[in-house]
Structure 1
């Protein structure tokens, strides 16, 4: 993690005392005394002052946190005659969509604390730990990195790695440098991504967690997963020897009329 991003998070955590979405003072929004209790210090009031652990990161106020669609049901992508479960932290809708756009396309580092807050809502997958699992962030290309100036996913993934205690593995490169996927259908995206990813290093673990910022049609994550599956060469190529893949993202952007995804419960058991 580069120094500018670390410094930005430090400033956000210890200097910026307001909700990063609404701008309301965090302590006033969360801990302000109810009108009925202003002259009565009761046991209930003391409990009211206790922060709620689920959103006590100093980033959002209670109202803004509760306004976000957290942890929607998982969906599945088809890869190599199998399914890849994908778990979003939230839906790509207001206010998260605006936060992601400002961070992703304008390199607005003031949005980083909110995105880290999203990451912290993702539970570590059952049975996954540092000795049997790696996190694979969505790769980008050097020309795309040069055009944009930074890689949003590479900025975010260290926070996910720290949150779960699982190492990052970057043994896949993207070689296509295709144009933006925005506005394309799923078929167009899949065609656009044919041969886009190349595995360049031996996979050190069998369990691989794919991570991207936003999933829309799932074409990019499907292409990445297929590259891993097609490269996997165990001694005996049987289903129980194949890599165990799961996908994770900050937000899922649903397209009206798109019923490809098989919606499941939010169970993370492998």
Structure 2
């Protein structure tokens, strides 16, 4: 039950039909190739072909950063990773795009809690700032979206992390994998201390199938302390305790890394 289709029209309009900045709504958005950390995929122009020019325009919009240069640079991006322990002598590296501050905090909350589709283009812009993992491609890697519980899915009516992960999958050209489930007996992580978050997530995830590849890219929308990604990483790092089919595999078989839209706050 993953409601992705209703959001495609909004993303299409933001990509191809609206050249204004998705944050200030005043200035023209800037091509992704003109922003740091990204590369243009636009085709060379051909002034003698209407259809080639049209395709150039569409490709340019697809390569758009969706924000103007001023708004892009007003957001503090995070070039460095932070780490959490998942086993003795093993850490999980987590790369976030930015801090969980304005305007990203408000956009994420509106999208998650009020299904505000108008915030999705801004979040898509943030997704595009995450560096593509070196050496990862569709044949050797999968993206593992942070699972939600059935109870929360019924209450919310949609899965925002899966929607964002699907856009990241499209951007990186790396497939999604849904081989992990989240158990319903955990509560929301919001408002909990780090110790409470870790305790709340003990045995919160269970593998339903063996990962098809060795590189697993974990994804969540917000990594406040990294506790959720840490618990998910532990479940994937030790498959022998979760699935009978993986009982003969070494527990360090998989290469894990994690990504998130936002992390903590720069003011803490």
Q: Same fold (TM over 0.5)?
A: yes
Q: Which residue in 1 is equivalent to 2:237?
A: 229
Checking the alignment, whether the CA contact within 8 Å between 2:101 and 2:265 is kept in structure 1 is no
Q: TM-score, normalised by structure 2?
A: 0.81
Counterpart CA distance in 2 for 1:256 and 1:10 is 35
Query: Partners of 1:152 and 1:236 in 2: how far apart?
Result: 33
Moved more, 1-10 or 150-159: 1-10
**Conservation of the 8 A alpha-carbon contact between 2:20 and 2:28:** yes
Instruction: Identify unmatched segments of 5+ residues in structure 1.
Output: 32-50, 258-270
Query: In the alignment, which residue of structure 1 is the partner of 2:155?
Result: 147
When Rg is computed on C-alpha atoms for both structures, the one with the higher figure is 1
Higher RCO by CA contacts (8 Å cutoff, separation 6 or greater):
1
**Aligned residue number for residue 17 of structure 1:** 19
User: Number of paired residues?
Assistant: 235
1:3 Cα deviation after fit: 2.5
Structure 1 length-normalised TM = 0.80
Task: Say if 1:92 and 1:214, in contact at 8 Å, map to a contact too.
Answer: yes
SS in 1 for 2:98: strand
Alignment of 1:37-186 (within 5 A): 52=34, 54=36, 57=64, 59-81=66-88, 82-186=90-194
Check the 8 A contact 1:171/1:200 in 2, yes or no. Answer: yes
Contact in 1 for aligned 2:10/2:117 (Cα 8 Å) = yes
SS in 2 for 1:87: strand
Q: Corresponding residue for 1:8?
A: 10
- CA distances 1:159-183 after superposition (whole Å, capped 9, x unpaired): 1111111111000000134222111
Shift of 1:194: 1.2
| 8 Å CA contact retained: 1:88, 1:250 | yes
Residue 255 of structure 1 and its aligned partner are, at CA, apart by 8.2
